[in-house]
Amino acid sequence: MAAVTLLSTRDLCRHFGGLRAVRDVDFDLPQGEIRALIGPNGAGKTTFVSMLCGRIPASSGTITFQGQDVTHLPAHKRISLGMAYTFQITSIFGNLTVYENVALAVQHRLGRDHAALKRETLGALARVGLKARAEQVAGDLAYGHQRLLEIAMGLGQEPKLLILDEPTQGLSDGEIEEFIALIREVSANTTVLLIEHNIPVVMALADTITVLNFGRIIAEGTPAEIRANMHVQEAYLGG
């Protein structure tokens, strides 16, 4: 049975003045996959996913999500269609507690059902291992824990697609192990698009890897195929 395509792009481009940060990208993400997006610094990874979720507009090309053209939809509409994302730069509310941050994300979906709000908020915090820190002020958390909090905020939306931009940056080895287990569990119900520089994490999690270099896709395949790909080794994996 052919997998259903959850998200695709055609000829997607983004220029910053004369700089072509993303060029003519045709990308297809089947539902249920864990997809890793890798590539050297400045390859265009963050720019690409920023267009997917509507954080920045595309210069040209199209983005389709669940069969619907979302290229020109504002970010909040894409969130209500089922996209969630966390970015390289943390976007938590530093003066609110850990609990309140996640409750805000859950509230969008559940409205005023207080019992469900509490249950699902604590549930999302438990999944990322932050339940014991629920009453802490979010801005006081270590950077790695702030990244986990962002993931909990994403999960609180029960998204169809979860986009994570360098989620393991700042995590300890033990926390990275927990993150890998978390993403495996999340992927039972959610398609995951993961930008990640930590190659062992990529190899452990990804069904398919897409490699970006100078704004273009230069390779796509299974972890074993990507490991064996000479072009990728030259561009990125350092031979």
Ligand X SMILES: Nc1ncnc2c1ncn2[C@@H]1O[C@H](COP(=O)(O)OP(=O)(O)OP(=O)(O)O)[C@@H](O)[C@H]1O
Q: Are strands 19-30 and 5-16 parallel, antiparallel or unpaired?
A: antiparallel
Radius of gyration of the chain (CA): 18
Q: Is 209 in the site for ligand X (CB under 6 A)?
A: no
Supply φ then ψ for residue 214, to 5 degrees. 45, 45
Q: Which is nearer to ligand X, 44 or 167 (CB)?
A: 44
CB of 238 to ligand X, least distance (A): 15
Partner whose binding site includes residue 21, from ligand X, Mg ion, none (CB under 5 to 8 Å by kind): ligand X
Q: Is 159 in the site for ligand X (CB under 6 A)?
A: no
Among 9, 46, 121, 210, binds Mg ion (CB under 5 A): 46
Give the C-alpha separation, 167 to 164, whole Å: 6
Residue (of 113, 53, 51, 116) closest to 81 by Cα position: 53
Supply φ then ψ for residue 123, to 5 degrees. -60, -45
Q: Is 213 in the site for Mg ion (CB under 5 A)?
A: no
Q: Is 167 in the site for ligand X (CB under 6 A)?
A: no
Q: Is 16 in the site for ligand X (CB under 6 A)?
A: yes
- Comparing every residue's Cβ against Mg ion, the nearest one is 46
Number of residues that make up the chain:
239
* Residues from 72 through 101 that contact ligand X (CB under 6 A): 88
Give the C-alpha separation, 140 to 170, whole Å: 15
Q: Is 168 in the site for Mg ion (CB under 5 A)?
A: no
Residues in touch with ligand X (CB under 6 A): 16, 19, 21, 39, 41-47, 88
